[in-house]
Amino acid sequence: MRLDKYLAETAQCTRSEAKTLLQKGRVTVNGAVCKKGDTQLKDSDTVAVDGQPLAYQQFVYLMLNKPEGVVSASTDKRDTTVVDLIGDAYPRRELFPAGRLDKTSTGFVLLTDDGGFAHDILAPKRHVSKTYTVTLDTPLTEEMRQGFAEGVTLADGTALSPAEVSALSEDGLVVRVVLKQGVYHQIKRMFGVYGAGVNGLHRDAIGGLELDKTLSPGQWRELTAAEVAEITTK
């Protein structure tokens, strides 16, 4: 890989900004100042800017606590998107949400530029679970529990895979739902079969990875390699 391209991807800067770093002598390769952007790097080379070593990342994985009113898309002409919330932190990355949450829903959205990983965790055969806290307008009933466990058939005839639902509050209005399938407006439509409405929906976890409770709505952070692996463990 060319040095200027490596700088753009690892230091998250534009090619012109990388060129400026090189011209000012702020870049070293194996400890020696290098000003040539077309220098071809070897896997064993160590690149640093202002003495700080850079590490190449093939892909980026971000955990975002999506606030209400933000759409799960890369771009939108009218509304703020989950990618907009990342700002210009990754100018060289084409980030997108791996899965979606409705505009009115909140919680864990995974952003990445790894299309293969996103496909894997969304593929029905992989059975990667998503866990939600749901606020209902009607208390949870045994009929709902059994129906979810057996697999709900929606009003349009769509037969869904089995899911889990359990009460989180004494009055049964706040419940925990675990899905291993992704269908448009699935949770709202599932409860609608039983005449129950959804007043609030928050995603708590994807697979075995829970949303970081220190992240306020709109905040995000990078995932570690171990956390990325946790997503596919449940």
Out of 76, 84, 102, 120, the active site residue is 102
The H or E element containing residue 150 is helix 142-150
Contact 155, 193 (CB under 8 A): yes
Phi (first) and psi of residue 18, to 5 degrees:
-65, -40
Q: Which of 233, 197, 225, 221 is nearest to 89 (CA)?
A: 221
Q: Which two tokens stand for residue 165?
A: 């639902």
Active site residue 120: no
Q: Which of 203, 191, 125 is nearest to 152 (CA)?
A: 191
Contact 203, 105 (CB under 8 A): yes
Active site residues: 102
